[in-house]
Amino acid sequence: MNTGFSPRPPDLAPPVWAVGALARAVADALDARFNPVAVRGEVSGVARAASGHCYFTLKDAGGQLRCAMFRRAASLLQFTPREGDQVEVRARLSVYEARGDLQLVVESMTRAGQGQLFEQFLRLKARLEAEGLFDAGRKRALPAQPRGIGIVTSLGAAALHDVLTALARRAPHIPVLLAPAPVQGEGAAQGLRDSLSKLYLLAQTGSGLEADLTQSRPTPPVELILLVRGGGSIEDLWAFNDEQLARTIAASPVPVIAGIGHETDFTIADFVADLRAPTPTAAAELASAPRAQQLAELQAAEQRLQRALQRRLDAEAQRVDRLAARLGRPSGAVAAEQLRLARWGQRLQHAGAGRLQQERDRLARSAERLPAALQRALQAQQQRLERAELRLGLLDPRLVLERGYAWLQDASGQPVTRARQAQAGQALAATLADGTVEMTVTGRSLR
Q: Please indicate, yes or no, whether residues 146 and 160 belong to a single structural domain of this protein.
A: yes
Determine the residue type at 50. Answer: A
Please tell me the distance from the alpha carbon of residue 110 to that of residue 40, in angstroms, as a whole number. Answer: 10
Q: Please indicate, yes or no, whether residues 208 and 349 belong to a single structural domain of this protein.
A: no
Please tell me the distance from the alpha carbon of residue 229 to that of residue 233, in angstroms, as a whole number. Answer: 12
| Dihedral angle of Cα 318, 324, 328, 330, to the nearest 10 degrees | 180
For the question of whether the overall pTM of this predicted structure is more than 0.75, the answer is no
In a domain, 446, yes or no: yes
pLDDT means per 10 residues in the chain (447 residues)? 52 74 76 78 87 89 88 84 84 80 86 72 91 92 88 90 90 89 92 94 64 53 92 84 95 93 85 92 84 68 83 82 69 69 77 74 68 71 80 70 80 84 84 85 80
Q: Please indicate, yes or no, whether residues 215 and 70 belong to a single structural domain of this protein.
A: no
Q: Report pLDDT for 183.
A: 92
Q: Report pLDDT for 250.
A: 94
Q: Shortest CA distance to 157 belongs to which of 264, 261, 277, 263? A: 261
In a domain, 29, yes or no: yes
Bridge partners, residue 152, by sequence:
227
Q: Please indicate, yes or no, whether residues 257 and 338 belong to a single structural domain of this protein.
A: no
Q: Please indicate, yes or no, whether residues 180 and 227 belong to a single structural domain of this protein.
A: yes
Count other Cβ atoms within 10 Å, centred on residue 112: 12
Q: Report pLDDT for 195.
A: 94
Bridge partners, residue 402, by sequence:
none
Q: Report pLDDT for 132.
A: 93
Q: Report pLDDT for 127.
A: 93
Residue 52's domain spans which residues? 19-112
Specify whether the CB–CB gap between 192 and 183 falls below 8 A. yes
Q: Please indicate, yes or no, whether residues 386 and 408 belong to a single structural domain of this protein.
A: no
Q: Report pLDDT for 269.
A: 94
The Cα-based distances of 94 to 17, 62, 70 in angstroms read 19, 20, 14
Specify whether the CB–CB gap between 224 and 253 falls below 8 A. no
Please tell me the distance from the alpha carbon of residue 426 to that of residue 422, in angstroms, as a whole number. Answer: 7
The CATH number assigned to the domain holding 151 equals 3.40.50.2300
Q: Report pLDDT for 7.
A: 57
Q: Please indicate, yes or no, whether residues 266 and 363 belong to a single structural domain of this protein.
A: no
Q: Report pLDDT for 126.
A: 92
Q: Report pLDDT for 8.
A: 58
